[in-house]
A and B are shown apart, each in its own frame.
Chain A
Amino acid sequence: MSTSNDPIIEVDGVRKSFGGTEALAGIDLTAETGRVLALLGPNGAGKTTLVRILATLLTPDAGKVRVAGYDAVRQPAAVRSVIGLTGQHSAVDDLLTGRENLEMLGALNHLSRAEIRRRTDAALADFGLTEPAGRPAKTYSGGMRRRLDLAASLVGRPPVLILDEPTTGLDPVTRIDLWAAIERLVNGGTTVLLTTQYLEEADRLAHRIVVIDHGHVIASGSADQLKDQLGRDVIEVRVADSSGFDPAAAALAPLLRDSSVLDRERQRLTMPAPRGAATLSAALNYLAQAEVTVADIGIRRPSLDEVFIALTGAPDGTGASTELVTSTSPQSRSNR
């Protein structure tokens, strides 16, 4: 069952409200067996609520959830037997050693003593934790804890792994390590559903991305499809020094659209290139007429960040310096 494309997670019209707030307003999605599905969305989009429903920790108000053919509401025990969950808080017992943490999960998965030993050794080796295995987890670094946490959710060898923001708060090196571990799992046939706020993470790991905002699915597809959906290639201009930013924005005004990004901090302007090379040469002309010195100009595909901003309508997590152009007169906006 390595990589057939049958759906293993099916979510159909799922709603969930807490008090008066609707966290999920009718979500539909499917995850294919052996693939990585990323749920991408800003804070409060409803990602964690959906994860908790999939992991049988919450009951939906309406809709159907099936994991490996089992109904999450009517057959929660069966669903639990096919999933592994790594939640947002790392569920590692600080006072137990790394090995004891994994052995406990082995016992709770009802494995034999010999099998617990075998899988614990294998998991410790797979996640580079053999050396500190005998130390209490409270002595571990953040990255080691996260790896132990992931290893613990895998001791039961679940065919479906659910990861809620697996790399939040990790340094870049640890993040790349964890990505490699997730990729190895997927190569071994595990289906992964992960939530993330990091577009780079979704771009790198996911076969399919579902963008969620305010409890709705607002887009889905592969990273490439999402980029296509936003539309075509973009032209990116980087001016030589900050004094050139406003003149450049003024000169390029005829080419700027709603999806354009004016990033003053990085002295960078991005705009769509509907006519490809012809638009690029037009941009060069405008800039030459205005005598703006350009450090770099090029045509490229939109980044997932731009897709995300265009879809959710708010620059989330990308810093206040990135402003969305909503009018075609960038002059007035860039003056603020």
Chain B
Amino acid sequence: MTTIAAPAPADLAGVRTTPRMALRDIATIARRNLRRVLRTPQLLVVSAVPPVLFVVLFRYVFGGAIHTSSGNYADYLLPTVLILTQLLGATTAVALATDLAGGMVDRFRSLPIARSAMLAGRTIADLGRGALVVLAGLVAGLAVGFRFHTGFLPSLAGMGLVLAFSFAMSWEMSWVALKVKDPETAQVAGFLPLVPLVFASSGFVPVASMPGWLQGFANAQPISVTISAVRALTQGGPTAHYLWQSAAWIAGILVVFGALAVMEYRKV
């Protein structure tokens, strides 16, 4: 071994990140994160369990007691479980806080790459895991009586909406992770604000059964409208009303938490 080749003089052409370079950076980091998921098969198995568990438990524990307009509680329940398990099983916050605690975030931040690439690469890779969780929930749902009552395209759009919501929420979790920095805290803190949203919603019981003061909140909040939109897309009925509300929430969450997360990333 002799000397290691002399470095090239500083080349300013490489300094500005063009949109194409940014996309490549995002793809590189997403690929890294997906590889990590694929090389932790136990995580994949564990991720597929909650949707199955929730579908079966809610279907048979609550299904007898709760009466919904459509009559089939499996149909009513499944969109809820799909959303709930996206949020409950999200690994975004922990994974990001772990990268932060090790030196990975420092290394990425010292490279001439787009500021958003690290976060986008993370949230996009988590979407892949999210798709698997949706699939597990669907299989379990079909086994306990859930059926699509609309066409292929609306049903597909419904699943797409679940993932779009999951993607938006992973930016919220990224922001929390960058804020609290510690992996254990991040896991709990990322999910905590979502608990009241998950339960004070149209997800498990009809909103009409709740006290009046809660109904307004339960009808308008993002998880409710998204569940209602997914229900409409898979079961039929008026769709547009819920769909645009859900889309507006998703866009709003993406913009607000995307900006907050990138701001926090710049200064961690």
Q: What is the bound-complex CA distance between A88 and B103, given in angstroms?
A: 8
Chain B, residue nearest A78 (CB): B15
List of B residues within 8 angstroms of A159 by Cβ: 7-10
Q: Which of B7, B104, B106, B110 contacts A190 (CB 8 A)?
A: B7
With an 8 A cutoff between CB atoms, is A65 at the interface?
Answer: no
With an 8 A cutoff between CB atoms, is A139 at the interface?
Answer: no
B35 contacts A156, CB within 8 Å? no
Stretch in A19-27, A107-115, A322-330 with 4+ CB within 8 Å of B? A107-115
Q: Given A81-B10, A95-B39, check contact A154 B4 (CB 8 Å).
A: yes
Stretch in B21-29, B149-157, B202-210 with 4+ CB within 8 Å of A? B21-29
List of B residues within 8 angstroms of A240 by Cβ: none
Q: How large is the interface on A (under 10, 10 to 19, 20 to 34, 35 or more residues)?
A: 35 or more
B36 contacts A110, CB within 8 Å? no
A158 contacts B36, CB within 8 Å? no
A91 contacts B111, CB within 8 Å? no
Q: Given A96-B35, A108-B25, A159-B10, check contact A80 B3 (CB 8 Å).
A: no
A108 contacts B111, CB within 8 Å? yes
A158 contacts B7, CB within 8 Å? yes
Stretch in A181-189, A202-210, A256-264 with 4+ CB within 8 Å of B? A181-189
A110 contacts B6, CB within 8 Å? no
Q: What is the bound-complex CA distance between A85 and B4, given in angstroms?
A: 17
A91 contacts B39, CB within 8 Å? no
* A-contact 0/1 string along B1-43, CB 8 Å cutoff: 1111111111110111100010011001100100110011000
Q: How far is the CB of A257 from chain B (nearest CB, A)?
A: 44
* B-contact 0/1 string along A77-115, CB 8 Å cutoff: 110111111011111010110001000110111100000
Q: Given A56-B110, A95-B35, A95-B36, check contact A90 B14 (CB 8 Å).
A: no
Chain A, residue nearest B4 (CB): A188
Q: How far is the CB of A32 from chain B (nearest CB, A)?
A: 15
List of A residues within 8 angstroms of B111 by Cβ: 80, 105, 108-109, 156
Q: How far is the CB of B247 from chain A (nearest CB, A)?
A: 33
With an 8 A cutoff between CB atoms, is A126 at the interface?
Answer: yes
Chain A, residue nearest B110 (CB): A85
Q: Given A85-B110, A90-B103, A153-B107, check contact A188 B17 (CB 8 Å).
A: no
A68 contacts B107, CB within 8 Å? no
Q: How far is the CB of A152 from chain B (nearest CB, A)?
A: 7
Q: Given A108-B25, A110-B14, A110-B24, check contact A157 B7 (CB 8 Å).
A: yes
Q: What is the bound-complex CA distance between A86 and B56, given in angstroms?
A: 50
Q: How far is the CB of A213 from chain B (nearest CB, A)?
A: 24
* B-contact 0/1 string along A33-46, CB 8 Å cutoff: 00000000000000
List of B residues within 8 angstroms of A96 by Cβ: 32, 35-36
Q: Which of B3, B14, B24, B102 contacts A188 (CB 8 A)?
A: B3
Which residues of B does A touch, CB under 8 Å? 1-12, 14-17, 21, 24-25, 28-29, 32, 35-36, 39-40, 102-104, 106-113, 267
Per CB-CB distance, the 5 closest pairs between chain A and chain B, nearest first, are: A91-B103, A89-B103, A91-B107, A189-B6, A85-B110
- Residue pairs across A and B with Cβ atoms less than 8 A apart, 15 shown, are A69-B10, A77-B16, A81-B10, A81-B14, A81-B112, A85-B110, A89-B103, A96-B32, A100-B35, A126-B4, A181-B4, A184-B3, A187-B4, A189-B7, A190-B7
Which residues of A does B touch, CB under 8 Å? 1-2, 52, 55-57, 59, 68-70, 77-78, 80-85, 87-91, 93, 95-96, 100, 104-105, 107-110, 122, 126, 136, 152-154, 156-159, 181, 184-185, 187-190
